[in-house]
């Protein structure tokens, strides 16, 4: 646990970082490496992880805990209420996520550059991916060797997952030696942020060592940032405290927002930076009409085919999701059919991925469309800093996304029916043999999908009128203010987002501290 500093009515720092999640831990640690600057990190949540967070198998109990903002959303397209977990506290979502460390296929990042995020393709990000990690069992030419976050495959592998991997090979799907690298399409054993049987968080890897070693880094927890202060077009500091008010921190260089896809958009809007019509409608005085703030919300949806096992499934020592794969599948109505577009997350526990009513003694082949077309929004409910955001995820608002999920379901069923699984498979429990028509399978997906916790895009990089930050992550129209978290992604990458957030934050630190080297 990192200690909490006492609030001070007004203090001056060179850098202020808002949000102590994945990106915030990186930025606070990297910026404070310079002993000549003072850095303040402000986090709304607690200083330590929720109870049970260190035990990998217990991750499902963390949804709704003290480490989760506790959001749920009503999706207007499907009319379902969906849990929308996001981390709260030092370490952010690395305190409560599923600990799967997969960069995502390189084509997903090249899509960022194609969308106007110049300089943010996979090759541009690779040095920062490597800087963040130590992957001792991987190829050092493409993986990190001295980074703060140690990642590796699980040593004691589930026999069910091994049989499932054999099944993917049997049905002719490609195999990958390192599915976490971003260079390969196919199935294999992915990396996890688990060391010595315990979860590794961003706070463990970056923040705690920095706080112990440096006097120039101040960390304040249980303190909500209410707004950034803009004076004559420059960000001069922040207002923060209980309920988002009561204390001011002045900033002589830069304020960096690292509150996440939802939190950073909220904070910009509360500060009067965003669509002017929306700001006025909730009583916020507009400071800058920036229409892209809170737009372009992108997320993966996850569903699965569940099986009841013919023999007891071993409990295992990991998070139950040790193996995965990404493939290219033809999907009607999609461009760029040559890019890997469906990820499969193999879970050796019947209720690790949906359907939630799957058998306890079983396993699930999860599937998710990696390049969804659907987009949502983040808005304010009112002008109060501690009011929950209004999140409209927009799942399946583009009907092609359901087409893609249906393709994933059918491939998952093909894997599940392979002979390699005969010793383990008792029956397909969901959707099951009674659901065979396209209409029935579509309904199954709609009734059982969940958020994959991969939201992104509400303050995207670009130079067009709907972008929020430029390629150096500076907020358009305001000096001294940057955003450096998943909100800047033009679209969600083709995998789990944790490694990408680490890389974005590492690159942001480089941009801030050595701007002449990054153009």
Whether 358 contacts 448, CB under 8 Å: no
d(CA 489, CA 121): 11
- Report how far apart, in Å, the C-alpha atoms of 449 and of each of 254, 396, 445, 446 are: 40, 11, 6, 6
d(CA 146, CA 496): 22
Whether 130 contacts 147, CB under 8 Å: yes
> Of 112, 68, 87, 84, whose CA–CA distance to 25 is shortest?
87
Q: What angle do CA 21, 39, 271 make, to 5 degrees?
A: 65
d(CA 26, CA 248): 23
Residues 6+ positions from 440 with CB-CB distance below 8 Å: 431
- Report how far apart, in Å, the C-alpha atoms of 82 and of each of 238, 263, 446, 494 are: 32, 18, 11, 22
Q: Which of 9, 400, 454, 476 is catalytic?
A: 454
Whether 199 contacts 193, CB under 8 Å: yes
Whether 282 contacts 43, CB under 8 Å: no
Beta bridge partners of 250: 12, 237
Question: Is 454 assigned a catalytic role?
Answer: yes
CA 88 to chain centre: 13
CA 353 to chain centre: 17
How, if at all, do strands 100-101 and 191-192 pair?
Answer: antiparallel
Token pair of 54 as six digits: 């260190």
Which run of H or E residues covers position 210? helix 208-213
- Report how far apart, in Å, the C-alpha atoms of 270 and of each of 194, 230, 231, 237, 281 are: 37, 12, 15, 14, 12
Q: What angle do CA 392, 398, 400 make, to 5 degrees?
A: 145
Whether 85 contacts 174, CB under 8 Å: no
- Report how far apart, in Å, the C-alpha atoms of 58 and of each of 74, 97, 260, 320, 358 are: 27, 10, 24, 10, 18
194 phi and psi angles, rounded to 5 deg: -130, 125
Token pair of 258 as six digits: 């690292």
Instruction: Show which residues are catalytic.
Output: 454
């Amino acid at each position: 646990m990192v200690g909490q500093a006492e609030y001070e009515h007004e203090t001056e720092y060179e850098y202020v970082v808002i949000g102590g999640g994945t990106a915030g831990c990186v930025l606070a640690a990297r910026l404070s490496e310079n002993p000549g600057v003072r850095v303040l990190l402000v986090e709304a949540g607690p200083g330590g992880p929720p109870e049970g967070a260190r035990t990998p198998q217990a991750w499902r109990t963390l949804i709704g805990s003290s480490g989760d903002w506790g959001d749920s959303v009503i999706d207007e397209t499907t009319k379902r209420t969906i849990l929308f977990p996001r981390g709260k506290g030092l370490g952010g979502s690395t305190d409560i996520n599923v600990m799967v460390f997969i960069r995502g296929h390189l084509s997903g990042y090249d899509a960022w550059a194609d969308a106007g995020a110049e300089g943010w393709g996979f090759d541009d990000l690779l040095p920062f991916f490597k800087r963040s990690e130590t992957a001792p069992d991987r190829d050092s030419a493409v993986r990190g060797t001295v980074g703060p976050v140690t990642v590796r495959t699980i040593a004691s592998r589930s026999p069910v997952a091994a049989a499932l991997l054999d099944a993917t090979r049997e049905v002719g799907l490609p195999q990958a030696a390192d599915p976490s690298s971003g260079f390969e399409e196919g199935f294999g054993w992915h990396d996890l942020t688990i060391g010595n049987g315990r979860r590794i968080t961003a706070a463990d890897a970056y923040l705690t060592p920095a706080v112990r070693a440096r006097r120039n880094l101040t960390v304040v927890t249980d303190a909500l940032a209410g707004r950034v202060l803009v004076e004559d077009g420059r960000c001069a500091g922040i207002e923060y405290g209980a309920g988002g008010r009561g204390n001011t921190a002045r900033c002589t260089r830069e304020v960096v927002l690292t509150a996440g896809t939802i939190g950073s958009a909220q904070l910009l809007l509360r500060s009067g930076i965003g669509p002017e019509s929306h700001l006025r409608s909730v009583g916020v005085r507009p400071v800058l009409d920036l229409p892209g703030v809170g737009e372009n919300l992108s997320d993966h949806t996850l569903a699965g085919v569940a099986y009841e096992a013919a023999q007891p499934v071993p409990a295992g020592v990991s998070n139950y999701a040790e193996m995965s794969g990404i493939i290219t599948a033809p999907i009607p109505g999609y461009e760029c059919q040559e890019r890997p577009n469906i990820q499969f997350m193999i879970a050796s526990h019947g209720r690790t991925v949906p359907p939630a009513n799957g058998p306890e003694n079983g396993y699930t082949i999860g599937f998710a469309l990696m390049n969804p077309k659907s987009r949502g929004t983040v808005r304010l409910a009112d002008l109060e800093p501690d009011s929950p955001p209004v999140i409209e995820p927009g799942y399946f608002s583009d009907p092609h996304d359901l087409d893609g999920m249906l393709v994933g379901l059918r491939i998952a069923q093909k894997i599940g029916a392979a002979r390699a699984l005969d010793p383990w498979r008792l029956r397909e429990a969901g959707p099951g043999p009674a659901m065979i028509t396209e209409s029935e399978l579509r309904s199954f997906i709609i009734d059982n999908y969940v958020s994959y916790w991969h939201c992104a895009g509400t303050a995207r990089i670009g130079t067009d009128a709907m972008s929020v930050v430029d390629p150096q992550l500076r907020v358009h129209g305001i000096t001294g203010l940057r955003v450096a978290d998943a909100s800047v992604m033009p679209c969600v990458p083709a995998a789990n987002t944790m490694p990408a957030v680490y890389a974005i934050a590492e690159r942001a630190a480089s941009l801030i501290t050595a701007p002449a080297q990054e153009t």
